[in-house]
Amino acid sequence: MIRVLCFAGALAGGVSLSQFPEFSQQYLQRLGGQVDALTIVAKDFDASALESGLGREEALQQLTGTQFSEDHQADMRRTFARQARLSENLAILRAASPMERLTMPHRMADTEVLHEVWADFAPAVPVTAAGAVAAGTGLLGGWAMMAAFLGMMMLPFRKRQTRTKPEPKKRAEPAVRQEPSVVHSGPTLVATPPSHVPRLMGAER
């Protein structure tokens, strides 16, 4: 049963991770669109600030005095920070190969882009080397994760079995067999040399 569950986990991991190269490609396309849109907003703000003889930071500091202005300042700061972060991720992902992108999931963690990609994602059959490597990695990872999960689930039961396991019975040592002593009942005959036999002097036997 455990092997069947581990095989199911390996299969699920292989199928899921085999889609990573195609998913990363679609993410890269969406990411490029997001960076373009954010760059337009940043350039428009910088152009407006420049017309007033201000730099970006100086223009942001002047967005105070009212709740609307302060909220707008906070929004623009988040926009500039996101534009810089996504631009860096886009440059690194474009320079990486599909195999290298397997080690860069942290570069594809923008929530908004992920939601857009997932909404339109269509699974594809992995026919590339990156897809095969991803599928193999998913198989091994799925098997290992399922085995570890089942091992943790079964650990309390194994401890309980160890505690309640009866001690093995000691093997009884064989008793030493005592031979019955032989008791002689009856008279004991003792040979005694005759004392009245005449002895012949000088006779040779």
Distance (Å, whole) CA 154 – CA 133: 32
Average pLDDT of span 27-39: 96
CA dihedral for 103, 97, 109, 115, sign (positive or negative): negative
Q: State the chain's maximal CA–CA distance in angstroms.
A: 168
Residue 205: predicted pLDDT: 44
Is 21 exposed, middle or buried (CB count within 10 Å of its CB: 0-12, 13-18, 19+)? buried
Reported confidence tier of residue 203, pLDDT bands at 50, 70, 90? very low
Determine contact, residues 102/134, Cβ cutoff 8 Å: yes
Whole-model pTM: value is: 0.59
Residue 15: predicted pLDDT: 55
% residues pLDDT > 70 (the chain): 51
% residues pLDDT > 90 (the chain): 40
Average pLDDT of span 171-175: 56
Q: What is the pLDDT of residues 180-194, one digit of tens each?
A: 555 455 555 545 555
Q: What is the pLDDT of residues 51-109, one digit of tens each?
A: 999 999 999 999 999 999 999 999 999 999 999 999 999 999 999 988 888 889 899 99
Distance (Å, whole) CA 108 – CA 110: 6
Reported confidence tier of residue 138, pLDDT bands at 50, 70, 90? very low
Determine contact, residues 141/11, Cβ cutoff 8 Å: no
34 Cβ contact list (under 8 Å, min separation 6):
86, 110, 112, 113
Residue 20: predicted pLDDT: 77
Distance (Å, whole) CA 86 – CA 183: 110
Q: Residue 102 has what DSSP assignment?
A: T
Residue 162: predicted pLDDT: 60
Where do runs of H (alpha helix) occur along the chain?
2-18, 20-51, 56-61, 67-95, 98-101, 111-120, 129-164
Residue 7: predicted pLDDT: 44
CA 2 to chain CA centroid, Å, is: 17
Reported confidence tier of residue 49, pLDDT bands at 50, 70, 90? very high
Residue 172: predicted pLDDT: 55
